[in-house]
Structure 1
Amino acid sequence: DVSATGLSAQRIRIGAISSNLANAQTTRTAEGGPYQRKDVLFEQVMKGEYAGGVRVQRVIDDEKPPTLKYEPDHPDANEEGYVAYPNVNPIEEMVNMLEASKSYEANATVFETAKQLALRALEIGRA
């Protein structure tokens, strides 16, 4: 079902955006560097000749370089006194969150409408 796959894909996207927002100031991860912004790649699912929905192809790290800020007293500052902050723009992430949320809501509405139509068709068939 197209709307169900859309719901699932947007749920994963919302999770990635939430992680980006939560780690926007994380200067040191287990790997050693600043947090890398996550992005979700979708791909179309085909059912024969017709579109069957969308699925997450994979979650990738954004390759944009970190933002350097001069903070010589910060524990993660380099030799020159610069700290590498994640390549996350909170305003951009909030816009992405709104878009993903609206898409999720639209898919939920379509799913519910399709369910109601199927139930109504069953009622008509019984009559």
Structure 2
Amino acid sequence: MSLSNIFNIAGSGMSSQSIRLNTVASNMANAESVSSSADDTYRARQPVFQLIQAQQDDPFGAALSSSMAAGQGVQVVDIVESEAPLRQQYEPNHPMADENGYVFYPNVNVVEEMTNMISASRSFQVNADIMNTAKEMMQRVLTLGQS
């Protein structure tokens, strides 16, 4: 793996964590939205990450198995809706209540979303720090021949 690959790998991590932060923001924004039917109610969403595999050859020309090959970053392959049950509350005076007096709230767990937000922002920061460290290393390599 060359030093220049680090920028692609860390960049893919930053991009994926940005998508994760966007889904957290969407979930938090809709946490208290109500609906009169279960079908129309917002459901929490989560991104699905996948390793980007690199095709590598060993020094003797044989292809390495995928379990031994180094990853080349991460990508979001899908955003799935949570299968957790919706919150159903009896509020007959609510304007969005159905004919039985129930309103439906999303299945968003605010504590879990805050944890996801903290984790995503820290992962994003780590990838940014990796990029800065790699940049500093490349600059130092360029100055080696000057003295």
Give me the TM-score of the superposition, normalised by structure 2: 0.78
CA distance in 2, matches of 1:6, 1:89: 25
Alignment of 1:1-127 (within 5 A): 1-28=8-35, 33-48=40-55, 49-127=69-147
CA distance in 1, matches of 2:110, 2:47: 17
RMSD: 1.4
Post-superposition offset of 1:63? 2.1
User: Which SS does the other structure have where 1:5 is aligned?
Assistant: helix
Give me the TM-score of the superposition, normalised by structure 1: 0.90
Post-superposition offset of 1:65? 2.3
User: Which SS does the other structure have where 2:130 is aligned?
Assistant: helix
**Aligned partner of 2:112: which letter?**
E
Greater shift after overlay, 45-54 or 117-126? Answer: 117-126
Higher helix share: 1
Higher strand share: 1
- Structure 1's unaligned 5+ residue stretches are none
Larger radius of gyration: 2
In structure 2, the CA distance between the partners of 1:41 and 1:125, relative to structure 1 (3 Å rule), is farther
Post-superposition offset of 1:2? 1.7
CA distance in 1, matches of 2:144, 2:108: 53
Question: Percent same amino acid at aligned positions?
Answer: 39
